[in-house]
């Protein structure tokens, strides 16, 4: 039954378009299902991974750890996302650690199954490379933001990018520690930024939601007025 769910999802993936039903079905049958508890490590930075991952439910963070133990969260992953293309295709040590933020169900598609598809359908490799390129662009943007923008600007931009309408749902793990790690700062600094944005009437926060009250003002704080 679980493989049937995966099969339906694989048929919708952009990077697998053009494949016949039998090929996608074989790919689904090769997959292994795993459930990770909150804070469970899916893989470690430096591991040589041999699987492509599909996050069916739950949430993850991809991070790097400094020698002093400080974390830099590079991205959050939500249900429906594919990840670890570099590990499975480049056969190089993984550049990040992936950790479950809540209970997460993940499909592991083995390298050998994906390689068979790529050898038979070269256009699939190009589509996967395109998917990887989009993520590389996101990382370049993150690096530029960390270097050139203040914590306030980075936080304001994160809120604008994450909002559904003008509301960001606060999930159990969306706390100031995780957000600070993603923004390249510490919780105390982020707390001061939140107080300032709240005092300015740009946002309001409670335990369930963050609400944008003044989108234009928040965009100005995010240094987006010239975009």
Give pLDDT tens digits for 130-188: 777 777 777 777 777 777 789 999 999 989 988 888 988 887 667 888 888 888 888 89
Residue 227 has pLDDT above 50, yes or no: no
Q: What percent of the chain has pLDDT over 90?
A: 33
DSSP-assigned states of every residue in 152-205: HHHHHHHHHHH-BTTEEE--TT-SHHHHHHHHTS-HHHHHHHHHHHHHTTSEEE
Report d(CA 111, CA 114) in Å as an integer.
Answer: 5
Report d(CA 21, CA 11) in Å as an integer.
Answer: 8
Residue 117 has pLDDT above 80, yes or no: yes
192 found inside a domain: yes
Beta bridge partners of 148: none
Same domain? For 136 and 176 the reply is no
Same domain? For 26 and 46 the reply is yes
Same domain? For 173 and 123 the reply is no
85 found inside a domain: yes
Q: Kindly report the average pLDDT of the chain as a whole number.
A: 85
Number of domains in the chain: 2
The pLDDT score that the predictor gives to residue 173 is 67
**Any idea what the CATH number is for the domain that residue 52 is in?**
2.60.120.10
37 found inside a domain: yes
* Domain edge (last residue) among 117, 146, 175: 146
199 found inside a domain: yes
The pLDDT score that the predictor gives to residue 123 is 75
Beta strands 59-65 and 209-212: pairing type? Answer: unpaired
Residue 68 pLDDT grade (very low, low, confident, very high; cuts 50, 70, 90): confident
Distance of CA 65 to the CA centre of its chain: 17
**pLDDT tens per residue across span 184-226:** 888 899 999 999 999 999 999 888 889 999 999 999 999 875 4
Q: Is the pTM of this model over 0.75?
A: no
132 vs 22: which has the higher pLDDT? 22
Residue 60 has pLDDT above 90, yes or no: yes
Residue 90 has pLDDT above 70, yes or no: yes
Instruction: Write out the two tokens for 31.
Output: 């997959």
49: left (phi over 0), alpha (psi -120 to 50) or beta: beta
What is the span of the domain harbouring residue 160? 150-221
Same domain? For 91 and 173 the reply is no
Instruction: Write out the two tokens for 88.
Output: 């499975």
**Any idea what the CATH number is for the domain that residue 209 is in?**
1.10.10.10
Distant-in-sequence, close-in-space partners of 68: CB < 8 Å, separation ≥ 6: none
């Amino acid at each position: 039954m679980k493989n049937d769910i995966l099969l339906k999802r694989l048929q919708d993936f952009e990077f697998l378009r053009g494949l016949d039903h039998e090929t996608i079905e074989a790919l689904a049958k090769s997959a292994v299902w795993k459930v990770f508890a909150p804070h469970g490590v899916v893989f470690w930075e430096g591991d040589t991974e041999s699987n492509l991952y599909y996050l069916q439910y739950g949430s993850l963070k991809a991070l790097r750890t400094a020698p002093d133990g400080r974390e830099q969260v590079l991205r959050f992953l939500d249900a429906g996302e594919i990840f670890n293309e570099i590990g499975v295709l480049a056969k190089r040590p993984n550049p990040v650690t992936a950790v479950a933020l809540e209970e997460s169900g993940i499909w592991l598609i083995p390298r050998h199954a994906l390689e068979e598809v790529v050898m038979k359908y070269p256009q699939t490799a190009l589509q996967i490379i395109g998917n990887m390129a989009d993520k590389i662009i996101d990382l370049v943007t993150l690096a530029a933001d960390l270097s050139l923008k203040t914590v306030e600007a980075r936080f304001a931009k994160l809120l604008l990018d994450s909002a559904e309408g003008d509301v960001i749902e606060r999930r159990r793990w969306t706390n100031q520690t995780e957000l600070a790690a993603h923004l390249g700062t510490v919780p105390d600094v982020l707390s001061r930024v939140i107080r300032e944005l709240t005092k300015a009437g740009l946002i309001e926060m409670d335990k369930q939601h963050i609400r944008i009250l003044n989108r234009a003002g928040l965009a100005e704080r995010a240094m987006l007025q010239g975009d």
